Every structure is written in structure tokens, then in C-alpha cells.
Amino acid sequence: MMLLSMAYQLTLHENLIEKLLSPANLDNAWKRVKANKGSAGIDGMTIDDFPTFANANWEHIKTQIAQGTYRPSPVLRVNIPKPDGGTRKLGIPTVLDRFIQQAIHQVLNPLFDPHFSPYSYGFRPNCNAAQAVTHLQTGIKSGRKIAIDIDLSKFFDRVNHDLLMHKLGLKIKDKVLMKLIGRYLRARIVEHGKRVKPTQGVPQGGPLSPLLSNIMLDELDKTLEKRGHHFARYADDFTILVKTKRAGERVLTSISLFIKQILKLVVNEKKSRVGAVKETRFLGFGFKYGRIKIHDNSLQRFKYRVRELTNRNWGIAMSKQIASLNRYLRGWGNYFLIANDYQLCVDLDQWIRRRIRMCFWRQWRKPRSKVKNLLKRGVPLALAISCGATRKGVWRSAKTKGINQALSNEYLANAGLVSLRDIWIKIHHG
């Protein structure tokens, strides 16, 4: 019995490096790194350079990995703006290290993922944001009216190395692999040519980092489950549902304490709150009367983007413009239209069509819009004539009428403009 379990452990956990270095695993890892088409790390080596480099050096690197002597290169620090105005510190490993981390990810994920909480939805195979949101919805429908939103401050940047290594050590018995991961955590960061030693955090940009972050918060999930809370977590974004405000306040303080003391992470006090579910924002959604709504901020961003896509550039072929508008609408709709609000779709469709007509109206006012140019761009004849007529002194109303006629909803539908209404129907009765 003991022998059996030891043999089991040996094959499953102690020989992970071999699995890691197996040709099939490496092949998949490289495919993925290549498909992401990322840029070079600190060594300047691009995706295209890598195959020739690997042909010459991989055997050597492979031996180093197997023997536990491989040392990762430092990561390149790049600051990019966040939507909220702050900056996000990316840590970009070299292509070689992304390849190796990806290979590690593929070995570790099947080991850890099956044991994660079913209410953790971020960075996991077969899990998506819609599932997380609908899970919250069922909790709301069953009478929970109070939501606790907790946000972690600079989540990836503050992961505690010792604690993470401890959690990894509980499952990974392969000392060589543990050492390699430890070296990845301690890989130097290069910013403005200076090397700094990280004391905490996983790089935002490392293929392994998302999995490590889930391993880090797994204990939180399990604790919430054990306490019988209805919750959903997506990366560091999570919402817990309770019945009363009093219970909410109590849970917020106790969970905050857990996060600070046990997980050694920092709760973003400003973004954390407890209140009615109708005030909650989770993954771009909100809730109202037990229904999923698109949050105002998400709608605002949508309208801004549609304005951007319609405002200028109508000087070029209209079919091109409709195509780019279409792919945006499809992508956006397929994510957000799980919100069960049919009327909103109809309204948005109408809003989009009005915008398109309005942009034409503005543009054809300009003298350079000659009728035959309009025709060349694929503008319907009736519209072109009406614009020509306007410049000859016919009333504006004639132009408006011409545009409305020429760019009718029917015409735009024929031109292939997708409607959110159709996407909604496909999602809700498909």
C-alpha cells in the first residue's frame, strides 16, 4: 500500500521535469508562444529569431533545466497605461523564458486545476466570465440582496514568494522544478538599464503567472466555500453575496483580515465595498431585479468606441467601414449580450444607425464631396443626388430626407451591418 502510493507520487509528481521536456509538451509550448506574437524580451530576440537560436542551443539549455542549473534571464519592465488612468507594470520575459514558462504551465495546470474551487472562474480552462456572472445571478435570485465587492491592490505585484513556494511545495515534489520556479520568481527586473531584485510579485507577462495567482487565492476560495458563502471570483475581482448588510460588514472585515494576515496581500480599501446588489459592478456587468445588466461604464465605453468607428474615415469605402464596425459589434455583443435586455439591443441598434446617418450628413456638407466621389465610395444614388442638390441651395431638410431614405435601416442591413438584436437572439435562443 505504501509502496503503491510512493510509486504513484513518483510518477505523478517527482518526474515533472521529464514531462516538461517531452517533445510533445515543448512543441505545444512553442506553438502557443509563437501564436501570441509577442515582442522581444531583454535580450532582443524576437519570435522569428528563436527557432535558429533554439536549434543551436536547446540541447544545452535542456540539460541545464534537467540538472537544475538553468538560470532565467531578467524580465523587461514596460509601463503601459491602465484604463483607470494608472500605469500597469509589465514584466516581459525573453522569448526563451516565455517558452519554458509555458511548458511549465502546461505541466502544472492539469495538476492544480482539478482541485480549484468551482466558483473560481479566471484563467481556467472551460471557465468564462459569463459563468461567473450567471452564478452570482442565481445567488441573487435565491434572495441574497447584499453584495460584498473586494478588490486586491496590485494583485500580481504583491504575491508573497515564500507563501507561494510553500503552496506549490504541497503538490510539487520535484525539487528541480521547484528550484526552477523559485528562480523565475526571483528573476531580476530591468528598467531603464538598471537591474532590481524583486522581493515579491509574479510578472504580469509571464505565461505561468495567472496559474500561480490562482494557486495563491485557492485558499481564499476554499475558506469562502467552507463558510458557506455564495461567491464568484475572477482573478482578483470577486463578489460575495449575503442576505443582510450587517452580515456583509462582518464578512468584509473578516475576509479582509484573512487576505492581509494569511495571504499577505493588500486589499484595496477604496474599491472594496458592501451594499445592495444593484450597486455592484462585476466583470463589466451589474444586476437589477435579479437580471443581468450591462454596467453604465461598459455602455459608455461602447458608445465612445462606436463614435470613434463612425466619426471619421467615412471618406473611404463604406463596405470597409461597415466591416470594421461589424467585427467590433460582434465581439462586444458576444460578450455583453448575455445581459438579458432585449430592449437595450433594439435601442442601441437604432442609436448606431442614427449615428451613421448623422456622420454622413456632416460629411457631405463639405464642398469636396462631389457627387461622383460619393458614388465611387459606394454611397447610394439617392443620397448622392440629395447632397448635390443641397449644395445647389435646396433646403437642408431635403438632404436629411435623402440621407434617411438612402441609408435606411433596410439599406444598412442589406449592406451587411450586423444588428445587436440578431446577436441577442442567437445568444438567448440558440
CA torsion sign, 399 to 402 to 404 to 406?
negative
What type of residue sits at position 272?
S
d(CA 306, CA 310): 6
Binding flag, residue 78, RNA (CB under 7 A): yes
What type of residue sits at position 411?
Y
Binding flag, residue 272, DNA (CB under 7 A): no
- Comparing CB distances to DNA, the nearer of 46 and 69 is 46
Instruction: Using the rule CB under 7 A, give the single segment among 33-41, 224-232, 248-256, 358-366 that binds DNA.
Output: 33-41
- Comparing CB distances to Mg ion, the nearer of 87 and 334 is 87
Annotate 259-303 with three-state secondary structure: HHHCCCCCECCCCCEEEEHHHCCECCEEEECCEEEECHHHHHHHH
- Closest by CA position to 109, among listed 202, 205, 29, 204: 29
The correct pick among 60, 320, 327, 362 for binding RNA (CB under 7 A) is 327
DSSP state of 374: H
Binding flag, residue 353, RNA (CB under 7 A): no
Binding flag, residue 153, ligand DTP (CB under 6 A): yes
Instruction: Using the rule CB under 7 A, give the single segment among 4-12, 116-124, 341-349, 402-410 that binds RNA.
Output: 116-124
Binding flag, residue 380, RNA (CB under 7 A): no
Which residues have a Cβ under 8 Å from the Cβ of 64 and sit 6 or more positions away?
Answer: 70
Binding flag, residue 97, ligand DTP (CB under 6 A): no
Instruction: List b or e across 236-264, with b for residues whose CB sees 16 or more CB atoms inside 10 angstroms.
Output: bbbbbbbeeeebbeebbeebbebbeeebb
- Comparing CB distances to RNA, the nearer of 33 and 383 is 33
Which of ligand DTP, RNA, DNA, none does residue 284 bind to, with CB < 5 to 8 Å depending on kind? DNA
The correct pick among 80, 289, 343, 414 for binding RNA (CB under 7 A) is 80
Which 3 state secondary structure label does DSSP give 24? helix
d(CA 334, CA 426): 9
d(CA 309, CA 280): 30
- Comparing CB distances to ligand DTP, the nearer of 15 and 268 is 268
Report the relative pairing of strands 189-191 and 75-81 from DSSP bridges: parallel
The 138-177 site mask, x for binding Mg ion (CB under 5 A), equals -------------xx--x----------------------
The correct pick among 120, 209, 298, 404 for binding RNA (CB under 7 A) is 209
d(CA 331, CA 328): 5
Which of RNA, DNA, ligand DTP, none does residue 92 bind to, with CB < 5 to 8 Å depending on kind? RNA
Binding flag, residue 39, RNA (CB under 7 A): yes
Instruction: List b or e across 78-110, with b for residues whose CB sees 16 or more CB atoms inside 10 angstroms.
Output: eeeeeeeeeebbbbbbbbbbbbbbbbbbbbbbe
* Cell representation of residue 415: 449592406
Binding flag, residue 237, DNA (CB under 7 A): yes
**Binding footprint of ligand DTP, residue count (CB under 6 A):** 11
Binding flag, residue 402, RNA (CB under 7 A): no
The correct pick among 135, 154, 171, 355 for binding ligand DTP (CB under 6 A) is 154
The 224-263 site mask, x for binding Mg ion (CB under 5 A), equals ------------x---------------------------
Crossing angle of helices 175-185 and 50-67, in 10° steps, is 120
The correct pick among 138, 334, 373, 405 for binding RNA (CB under 7 A) is 334
Which of DNA, Mg ion, RNA, none does residue 298 bind to, with CB < 5 to 8 Å depending on kind? DNA
The 189-208 site mask, x for binding Mg ion (CB under 5 A), equals --------------------
Which residues have a Cβ under 8 Å from the Cβ of 176 and sit 6 or more positions away?
Answer: 17, 65, 66, 67, 68
* Cell representation of residue 123: 484563467
- Comparing CB distances to RNA, the nearer of 46 and 297 is 46
- Closest by CA position to 382, among listed 399, 359, 357: 399
The correct pick among 34, 88, 135, 158 for binding DNA (CB under 7 A) is 34
Instruction: Point out which residues bind DNA (CB under 7 A).
Output: 31, 34-35, 37, 122-123, 128-129, 210, 234-237, 283-284, 298, 301, 305, 327-328, 330-332, 334-336
Instruction: Point out which residues bind ligand DTP (CB under 6 A).
Output: 86, 151-156, 204, 235-236, 268
